[in-house]
Structure 1
Amino acid sequence: MAFQKEKPLHSLFAGATAGAIEAFITYPTEFVKTRSQFGGKRESPIAIIRETLKTKGVTGLYSGCSALVVGNAMKAGVRFVSYDHFKQMLADPQGKVSAPRSLLAGLGAGMMEAVFAVTPSETIKTKLIDDAKRPNPQYRGLLHGTASIVRQEGIFGIYRGLFPVMMRQGANSAIRFTTYTTLKQFVQGTARPGQTLPSAITFAIGGIAGLVTVYTTMPLDVIKTRMQSLEARQQYRNSFHCGYRIFKEEGIRRFWTGTTPRLARLVLSGGIVFTVYENIIRVIGRQP
């Protein structure tokens, strides 16, 4: 598939803006998904929403939101810049990138975003959500929570769960970008040459890419959440031990806990991120 290389600053700005918008809009689904993945009594998404609204109000559904908005903006910026860079490296002399090479470019982009953006923001977000459900929360917000975590656990405290995050983000980006670009190429092949795809079509393609991503990477997401919880150091030696304990003690179905809210988020996320990104690039990068 042929592609047009974007300027790195354009990709960074468009990706970061799209990521921040998507994170804020979809955050309540992320909150519910994360809460449902902690150990202990299983709670349905509706029960979590009802209990949170009753005890914390609407703002309770946004506990840890600022960490995810900042992290998601950084993540999406790094993701799109990295993906464009890896596609350029893997393109053939005619500027085309095969599906397997697109998968590899997405894998590389996911690894980069995991190290530079996702792991710190996800760790802080997860700890803030875990702390918020306690009777007497110890963190007073993003800055206080981050400072407390670093003070108590050192800089590596915000990099807990790095391995499962790298695996999840690598798989996420590889599957999402490959699905998106493959479907986009197919749809463009049925359109008139040079025709710009409508935003509704871009949103639908991004949503389908999110749907495929959720079901294939859910176990990695569950392990990631457990490894970043407040009690992780006392319960799990590493990611493999965490996965083994979940499988042995809770059963294989536990790996797909939180699928519904994550599905809602990633389907919306895929649609929002790709639509916002494509439109910003169209405005600042090139004319339709």
Structure 2
Amino acid sequence: LGNKSDRRVSPLKNFLAGGVGGVCLLFAGHPLDTIKVRLQTQECVVYRGTYDCLRKTVSKEGIFGLYKGMGVPLAGVTPMMALNFFGFGLGKELLQSDPTIPITNTQIYLAGMLAGVFTTVIVAPGERIKCLLQIQSSASQLKYAGPVDCALRLYKEQGIRSVYKGAVLTLIRDVPSNGVYFLTYEYLKKFLTPEGECVHHLSTSRVLLAGGIAGMLNWLIALPADVLKSNYQTATDGRYRGLRDVLKTLLREEGAHALYKGLSAVMLRAFPANAVRKHTCASKTFFNISTSFAYCHKNVYYRVLVKLYKLVW
């Protein structure tokens, strides 16, 4: 009983852990997210790849060009993480009728899917606003002054439906991939636990490894829907007749490989980001681990960005 109580983490700590880890990782990972969105939504070949997009963005807009649209996820990351963990916990409670019987893989997957449903309420409008801001590549093309201006103008022009444009694709992206994420993470934790030891006492490095691999698999599955979502959410009115039309147009104009545009940028970000994401709620030292790991990860980006900036100028 003592071990069980030691492992119990209060909802407040889960909330704060998700918030602290999420904020740190936004600063570290947002540049690659901006690159991903620009690669996904370019109608002609402006960027040849991740590095080319990074170089051109820094050249034309400076380092801060990579942080466009970050205000939206920054504001929503703490409630989003809290909803994610709440949804997963609720799903497990609803599906596991007898707590003494170990939860099955199917139940873990379904609980993870439920978590994806919960987060869509925040993620869908956030993604819509973020993507619109991220594709603004120069001063002459600026349509929105910032996230608040973007949200207000979308609502004023076409109401709440415009703000939530792409919500169905966000669900298609997040629900199955979130299930895979939690299932993979829980499976790897058990697999990496030495014989005779408790899974809850898994070392930091193994928790990070499980979270990182789960994150990469999550994005490998989510990316096609993410490409469709980014294109649909940033398209001008009338460009696509519906969700199916986005898919047909991309396949016709660019082929099946278009569904994996931005893959390298996604994978570069996925492992460290998701490794820390899980460790922030699994460790009693979640503040130290999340901030220090994210800080180191952030410094890698900044060194690259500073070098690029010097090369350009």
TM above 0.5, yes or no, is: yes
| Residue pair 1:14, 1:77 contacting (<8 A) in 2 also | no
Structure 1 runs not aligned, ≥5 long: 284-288
Match of 2:239 in 1: 235
Any idea what the Cα deviations from partners look like across 1:128-155, whole Å, max 9, x if unmatched?
1123446230222222222222222322
Specify which of 102, 113, 122 is matched with residue 107 of structure 1: 113
Superposition pairs for residues 157-168 of structure 1, below 5 Å? 157-168=162-173
Cα distance 1:187–1:249, how it changes in 2: closer, same or farther (>3 A)? Answer: same
Amino acid across the alignment from 1:175:
V
Amino acid across the alignment from 1:62:
Y
| Residue pair 2:190, 2:199 contacting (<8 A) in 1 also | no
TM-score (norm 2): 0.82
Superposition pairs for residues 1-288 of structure 1, below 5 Å? 7-42=10-45, 43=47, 44-93=49-98, 94-114=100-120, 116-133=121-138, 135-190=140-195, 192-193=197-198, 196-231=201-236, 233-279=237-283
DSSP-derived class of the 1:41 partner:
coil
CA distance in 1, matches of 2:243, 2:158: 18
Moved over 6 A (4+): none
Amino acid across the alignment from 1:125:
K
Amino acid across the alignment from 2:20:
T
Structure 2 runs not aligned, ≥5 long: 288-313
Could you tell me how far 1:267 is from its partner in structure 2? 1.5
CA distance in 2, matches of 1:106, 1:195: 19
Any idea what the Cα deviations from partners look like across 1:83-105, whole Å, max 9, x if unmatched?
01111111141152100110001
| Residue pair 2:224, 2:259 contacting (<8 A) in 1 also | yes
Task: Tell me whether 63-72 or 77-86 shows the greater mean CA deviation.
Answer: 63-72
CA distance in 2, matches of 1:109, 1:195: 21
DSSP-derived class of the 1:228 partner:
helix
| Residue pair 1:106, 1:177 contacting (<8 A) in 2 also | yes
CA distance in 2, matches of 1:162, 1:195: 36
Percent of aligned pairs sharing the same letter: 23
- Tell me the matched-pair count: 279
| Residue pair 1:120, 1:159 contacting (<8 A) in 2 also | yes
| Residue pair 2:170, 2:229 contacting (<8 A) in 1 also | yes
CA distance in 1, matches of 2:93, 2:9: 10
